[in-house]
Amino acid sequence: MIFDLVLGAIAVAVFVLLVALLTSLGGASDPARGSWGLFVLAGFLLFFAFVQRNALLFGGAVGGVAATSAFIWWAARRNRRRDQSATSVAHELGLSYEQGPPSDELRDLASALTSAGNRNSVQRVLAGRWRGNDVKLFDYGYELDTARGDTVERNFTCALVAIPLDGEPVTITTETFLTRVAAKIGYRDLQVGDADFDRVFNVRSKDPAAALRVLGPALRSWLGEHGRGLNFLIGRGAVLCMASEGTASRANLLELAAELRGLVTGTLATEVTDPDLDRAKRAPVAAGLGPDPHKALATKRTAVGLAIAVLLPVALVAGAYVLLYVACATGNGCL
């Protein structure tokens, strides 16, 4: 019996850990978000364990609950480490970690650049003055429902530098197989007349004339040297540089966004004359993360999950008794 308990617990725990690994490798920003489904599985195993008096299934239910709880807390610690990493960058750059909800402006600018996804989010916003410019660093992600019913998640690291340039934005992304196919069926991007540039980059804007004025020779040359694999937006009062998560550091993206702003405006970003002074003033703000929201969320998910695992078999047994009672009362059959 003990062997069956241990075997069932190990088997289901390994399954849960494989699910956790695949979800994390898939790029999910919150891999434990769907953990309730694993608790439901544990609840069904517990129900059948009691019905069949099966030690193997009971061990599986216990292993499933334990492994899922561990998965939830691991995901919470991972997100906390990401918060701490962003805070460290904020301290190094003399920025502050914004604690409140992110502005809709950041979400709108980032979604205008990706032009994909029906659910998007902005996290870990760092803001302040850097080399004389108003800047923001943040994480952006969106979800996309596929034709097969799956959900694909994409996450990015973004750097924004304010710029005195309003009007329709110009988006500059790297050409891909899909954009080339779209061009062949009529969704062609803006051609600037530079064969090498047009072959590598996909440019779109609702104001083509303004876009062509922005994309001068110097800027195209800079993009050819520094912009491959990155996405850029110029307009709506900002220069936005975006990279897939893990492919570029926040500091490097901020450097690129500042250089691009200088090319667009014809001015160069200048170093702060006494960076240690400004950094010291902002350090207390940048260093404080406040209460850990991930810990509170993990506690809530674990509590709800345990309730699901325990109450599900109780509900199934109660439902079975109700159906049996109704059958007996109506004369349709009774054991």
DSSP per residue, 32-67: GGGTHHHHHHHHHHHHHHHHHT-HHHHHHHHHHHHH
Task: Please state, as a whole number, how many other Cβ atoms lie within 10 Å of the Cβ of residue 317.
Answer: 13
Indicate the burial class of 86 (C-beta count within 10 angstroms; 0-12, 13-18, 19 or more): buried
Q: Which residues, 6+ apart, have CB-to-CB distance to 75 below 8 Å?
A: 20, 24, 30, 31, 32, 294, 298
> Is 220 within a domain?
yes
Same-domain status, 281 and 299: no
Q: Which residues, 6+ apart, have CB-to-CB distance to 212 below 8 Å?
A: 190, 192
Q: 262-279: string of b/e by CB count within 10 Å (b at 16+)?
A: bbbeeeebeeeeeeeeeb
| AA identity, residue 112 | A
Integer Cα distance of 324 and 329 in angstroms: 9
Each of the 335 residues of the chain gets a pLDDT tens digit; together they read: 788 889 989 999 999 999 988 888 777 778 888 888 999 999 999 999 888 889 999 999 999 999 999 999 999 998 888 888 999 999 999 999 887 777 788 888 888 888 766 778 898 999 999 988 999 999 998 887 776 767 778 889 999 999 988 888 899 988 776 666 666 665 667 788 888 888 888 888 888 888 888 888 999 999 989 988 899 999 888 999 999 988 899 999 999 999 999 998 876 544 443 444 344 444 444 445 566 778 888 899 899 999 998 898 888 888 878 877 776 767 665 65
Q: Which residues, 6+ apart, have CB-to-CB distance to 135 below 8 Å?
A: 95, 127, 128, 129, 159, 160, 161, 162, 254, 257, 258
Instruction: Establish how many alpha carbons lie within 13 A of residue 156's alpha carbon, considering only the half-sphere containing its beta carbon.
Output: 27
Within the chain, what is the greatest distance between any pair of CA atoms? 91
Tell if the pTM clears 0.85, that is, is over it: no
Looking at residue 281, its pLDDT comes to: 45
Same-domain status, 76 and 161: no
Same-domain status, 30 and 159: no
Same-domain status, 62 and 106: no
* SS3 category, 118: coil
Integer Cα distance of 39 and 61 in angstroms: 9
Give Rg (Cα) of the chain: 27
Q: Nearest-CA neighbor of 33 among 246, 297, 308, 293?
A: 297
Same-domain status, 173 and 194: yes
Same-domain status, 131 and 64: no
> Is 88 within a domain?
no
Same-domain status, 150 and 187: yes
Same-domain status, 110 and 254: yes
Looking at residue 273, its pLDDT comes to: 39
Same-domain status, 79 and 143: no
Number of domains within the chain: 2
Looking at residue 332, its pLDDT comes to: 63
> Is 196 within a domain?
yes
Q: Nearest-CA neighbor of 167 among 98, 101, 234, 261?
A: 234
| AA identity, residue 133 | N
Same-domain status, 313 and 267: no
> Is 66 within a domain?
yes
> Is 90 within a domain?
no
> Is 93 within a domain?
no
Same-domain status, 108 and 233: yes
> Is 335 within a domain?
no
Same-domain status, 142 and 240: yes
> Is 104 within a domain?
yes
Domain of residue 245, residue span:
100-287
Task: Please state, as a whole number, how many other Cβ atoms lie within 10 Å of the Cβ of residue 212.
Answer: 16
Integer Cα distance of 37 and 55 in angstroms: 22
State phi, psi for 248 to the nearest 5 degrees: -155, 145
Looking at residue 104, its pLDDT comes to: 84
